[in-house]
Structure 1
């Protein structure tokens, strides 16, 4: 984020101190959201096909593929995805299925391809660019060649230390990833992140709809209450700053440390040192920019009432000592203690809605980004 914008945001937070004291920090407008959107199977199926499978989603970290031939699998969307760093150093994504009879080519969740990807059924072989290299008894297959039967490729991009893939092969070539992420770039511009080394991969299955988890990330109204015993004491109560965009939302969570900047000249104001910056990368990923690292969390819907939640850290450099590891492990623990409290609230919401979905949520002025997200979801799945 360019320096002028950082100063503008910090000034706005300072102004909101007084507005909050005067109870003039909100417009008071409330919104109504139907709880049935979190329990409907028919709606979930449209969301999964038209949103999760049809847009660039984060499948992992660039650093998971350190060497040529390294690969990992991603099956959470329902599409069997193989992400591999080719012998030419290019990262690509393919459907993890043989072009002969559709057998899964690789079963280990991660590993290294030494030469070719070989089908365990009839030994059809593909190189790390997806090209068909060998057909067992090829004389039995007229018209089968590298041009017609190489692996089915998916759009795949390396951006911001993360790997983005569109799970639907029919949409290959439909997205300009840099245009898609332009709002994210405007926030991350001028921030120094280092090498973005991936660390502390964690996964958890949550008994709730995926949108409830996203909703919980898009407001700071809950911090003082839900996080009273963890991170709540470090942040200014209900002074988060919402930045509405067309697609990807941003919310700034000011820390108490930000108050000390009042005593410094503007030239020394640094937003990352006084606040956490959360960016929701539509549809299902949140990155939390902290002073010295980034947390990445993604929420993949399994069914209308179940979500697979996974996260990893992006560090400026690879930890070199036990002291380094202890430091980053402590940061991960603090994050997960807080995020578990958020997840617990989403699960409790789902329990209520499972028993009685003929109700509504009331969403207030401090939760506008939540409303923006839910409206965008509605637009994406409309006929």
Structure 2
């Protein structure tokens, strides 16, 4: 049974709700600017790949991708062959999807594999979902082989608050993912069911996707025919959790609902969005959630994997139809046809050289905060 309704919002979540109930955050309107080269410079992109994506913890999937022990999912989105597993003890791991014998890809494709063991298709070396080398044919041909030294290459992995994080850098600091987990526990992210997932290949710099979810200025304009009418224009609040941003946008409801301290009422009134640095987005809608992981592949190309999470598996045809409608509205409509399309058009414009700076208004302050954090991380 889903327990989100029994868990109280965190003080930080309630503080943002209180701001919305009072009409949104009060800030003096300010114009700021960002160099267009932040989205178009190949050298800048290479530095981001090395220092942001090569060193920091990254979200690879929601816990719901692997709901039971004995599951594995190949994952190539970050440019290296990865394998996400949940072993028989329920522990999540991220490995390089590479057999330790001759370097062959251990598991092919991109779909879920349910098995207690993973067998290399080339020479049948066999591994457990905890990465241990269990067996190999003709052990007599490998005298003195130490199987314990030939387990799969495990990357640092941490599961917290319903998300599976990993890092390519052995020294990556996972303190902030642990802190965010308290917020995600408050609406039972770990207890959600994965309804669908899809990867979009977007012809845009990854930061243009992040930008779209760091401001509410576009909602009434870009989404005028879809979700725009559900929200109040410019009524928003936000804060920081370490290097991550947390924001809230109010819908057309009574202020007292924004100030409620139970999740069902609060979620009907407010859409919370978490922009996890460097490149993950979580949107908490009234009855479902969307998690998006951004995986840059070039200065002008990013893969965006969208996971739709719902409270429980659909039990009836009516429930299935409801969730299908929500999926088609958000993933194919709002995100795919509007947000991602706008990012691709923006990339074309920036690559043309028509402008050398982007001009941001008072409703786009979250974008500047994000870019400042990226600059600091590249320098540090």
* TMscore range, shorter length: 0.7 to 0.9
Looking at structure 2, the residues matched to 187 and 70 of structure 1 have their Cα atoms a distance apart, in angstroms, of: 27
Counterpart in the other structure of 2:242: 246
Shift of 1:276: 0.4
Larger mean CA deviation between 179-188 and 334-343 belongs to 179-188
Q: Residues 137, 10 of structure 1: CA spacing in aligned structure 2 closer, same or farther, 3 A cutoff?
A: closer
Q: Which of 345, 349, 352 does residue 352 from structure 1 map onto? A: 349
Looking at structure 2, the residues matched to 194 and 68 of structure 1 have their Cα atoms a distance apart, in angstroms, of: 15
Counterpart in the other structure of 1:164: 165
Looking at structure 2, the residues matched to 100 and 76 of structure 1 have their Cα atoms a distance apart, in angstroms, of: 24
Shift of 1:271: 2.7
Shift of 1:61: 2.8
Looking at structure 2, the residues matched to 193 and 65 of structure 1 have their Cα atoms a distance apart, in angstroms, of: 13
Counterpart in the other structure of 2:108: 107
RMSD, aligned α-carbons: 2.6
Shift of 1:206: 0.6
Q: Residues 353, 249 of structure 1: CA spacing in aligned structure 2 closer, same or farther, 3 A cutoff?
A: same
Looking at structure 2, the residues matched to 85 and 40 of structure 1 have their Cα atoms a distance apart, in angstroms, of: 39
> Is residue 183–residue 248 contact of structure 1 (8 Å, CA) maintained in 2?
no
Map residues 1-383 of structure 1 onto 2, 5 A cutoff: 2=9, 8-16=15-23, 25-112=26-113, 114-141=115-142, 144-166=145-167, 168=168, 171-172=169-170, 174-176=172-174, 179-185=175-181, 187-188=183-184, 190-192=186-188, 195-259=191-255, 261=257, 270-336=265-331, 337-340=333-336, 341-356=338-353, 359-382=356-379
Looking at structure 2, the residues matched to 342 and 130 of structure 1 have their Cα atoms a distance apart, in angstroms, of: 39
Looking at structure 1, the residues matched to 60 and 329 of structure 2 have their Cα atoms a distance apart, in angstroms, of: 24
Q: Size of the alignment, in residue pairs?
A: 370
Q: Residues 381, 5 of structure 1: CA spacing in aligned structure 2 closer, same or farther, 3 A cutoff?
A: closer
Looking at structure 1, the residues matched to 60 and 190 of structure 2 have their Cα atoms a distance apart, in angstroms, of: 21
> Is residue 35–residue 357 contact of structure 1 (8 Å, CA) maintained in 2?
no
> Is residue 123–residue 136 contact of structure 1 (8 Å, CA) maintained in 2?
yes
Shift of 1:29: 2.0
Q: Residues 237, 113 of structure 1: CA spacing in aligned structure 2 closer, same or farther, 3 A cutoff?
A: closer
Larger mean CA deviation between 151-160 and 62-71 belongs to 62-71
**Structure 1, gaps ≥5 residues long:** 20-24
Larger mean CA deviation between 227-236 and 157-166 belongs to 157-166
> Is residue 220–residue 238 contact of structure 1 (8 Å, CA) maintained in 2?
yes
Shift of 1:317: 1.1
Q: Residues 371, 42 of structure 1: CA spacing in aligned structure 2 closer, same or farther, 3 A cutoff?
A: same
Larger mean CA deviation between 33-42 and 143-152 belongs to 143-152
Normalised TM-score (structure 2)? 0.88
Looking at structure 2, the residues matched to 123 and 172 of structure 1 have their Cα atoms a distance apart, in angstroms, of: 29
Larger mean CA deviation between 124-133 and 37-46 belongs to 124-133
Q: Residues 287, 351 of structure 1: CA spacing in aligned structure 2 closer, same or farther, 3 A cutoff?
A: same
**Structure 2, gaps ≥5 residues long:** 1-7
Looking at structure 2, the residues matched to 255 and 237 of structure 1 have their Cα atoms a distance apart, in angstroms, of: 9
| CA distances 1:179-228 after superposition (whole Å, capped 9, x unpaired) | 21255345445435582001121221111000110011100011111111
> Is residue 176–residue 242 contact of structure 2 (8 Å, CA) maintained in 1?
no
Counterpart in the other structure of 1:22: none
> Is residue 193–residue 293 contact of structure 1 (8 Å, CA) maintained in 2?
no
Shift of 1:321: 1.0
| CA distances 1:271-296 after superposition (whole Å, capped 9, x unpaired) | 32211000111111111112222111
Q: Residues 261, 82 of structure 1: CA spacing in aligned structure 2 closer, same or farther, 3 A cutoff?
A: closer
